Chains A and B, each alone.
Chain A
Amino acid sequence: MRYRAPATDALIATDLDTLTALFHRPSGITHLVASPVPEILAALAEPMTRDQLLAALARDYDLTDPDPRALAQRLDELVASGLVATS
């Protein structure tokens, strides 16, 4: 299964210190997200599998917990919220 973030023009993002407000234009829903969500969405600009995403994040960041299960939970949340689509 591959995951992908919405097109950049579908999201309006505003940083609120430790949180980020994301307005998802297609649904009209505003999401308040915390790290690592903005980083995951940035990485998913191009569709990839969970393992590829973990590798991409490990390449760009110092992961304190490179745990596939934790990443799976974040992805499940994002799919449920409509911020990430699967194919």
Chain B
Amino acid sequence: MTDPNPSDDPRIETPTDGDADGAGVPTRRRLLQLGAIGAGAVVSIRPALAQSVGSVLVCNIPVPDLGHAGSFIDANGALVPAGTKGAVAPPGRPFKGEEVKRAMAGYRLPGTNYESNRAYMNYIRRLQRGQGGFTCFASLQMPR
């Protein structure tokens, strides 16, 4: 049905004055490609603080600190001589930051019962600057 007419030249629309300056050309809208070229379109750079969260969780908190190795811990977290009635023996290994963080959220420290968990956590909460594990415990409480 189409009837090509070689004599009918459509160039009547061709601007001759050049005043349109590109107007009328169907590129008024920006091109956009949805498919990613190569890898994904997002690269995320996490802040240094977020990196440090990983190392905080593997730091250690000795109970008690090395200077008091062998001391027992009473229910309030105070160090008392070994064998003191009502106090618990030290856990035998330092707790990891991650374990203490979980215990702060209501879980028990690994290998503990209600009494020893309470004693160890009270000891950890009472740590002072300069004591082993203080820096680790302090960094656990920093907001992310």
For window 80-126 of chain B, which residues contact chain A by CB distance below 8 Å?
A: none
* A24 CB, nearest partner CB in chain B, Å: 9
From B27, B32, B45, B49, contact of A63 by CB (8 A)? B32
Residues of chain B contacted by A57 (CB below 8 angstroms): 32, 34
Q: Do most interface residues of chain A lie in helix, strand or loop, or is the interface mixed?
A: mixed
For window 14-37 of chain A, which residues contact chain B by CB distance below 8 Å?
A: 28-37
Residues of chain A contacted by B23 (CB below 8 angstroms): none
* A84 CB, nearest partner CB in chain B, Å: 10
Does A39 reach chain B (CB closer than 8 Å)?
A: yes
Does A13 reach chain B (CB closer than 8 Å)?
A: no
Does A87 reach chain B (CB closer than 8 Å)?
A: no
> Which of under 10, 10 to 19, 20 to 34, or 35 or more describes the interface residues of A?
20 to 34
The answer to whether A29 touches B35, judged by C-beta atoms less than 8 angstroms apart, is no
For window 52-87 of chain A, which residues contact chain B by CB distance below 8 Å?
A: 57, 60-67, 70-71, 73-74, 77-78, 81-83
From B41, B43, B45, contact of A35 by CB (8 A)? B41
Once A34-B41, A37-B41, A74-B36 are accepted as A-B contacts, the answer to whether A61 and B46 lie under 8 Å apart by CB is no
The answer to whether A61 touches B44, judged by C-beta atoms less than 8 angstroms apart, is no
Which residues of A pack against B, CB within 8 Å?
28-37, 39, 57, 60-67, 70-71, 73-74, 77-78, 81-83
| A–B pairs, 29, beta carbons within 8 Å | A28-B47, A28-B49, A29-B46, A30-B45, A31-B42, A32-B42, A32-B44, A35-B33, A36-B41, A39-B32, A57-B34, A61-B29, A61-B32, A62-B29, A62-B30, A62-B31, A63-B32, A63-B34, A64-B31, A65-B34, A66-B34, A67-B34, A67-B35, A70-B35, A70-B36, A73-B40, A74-B34, A78-B42, A82-B44
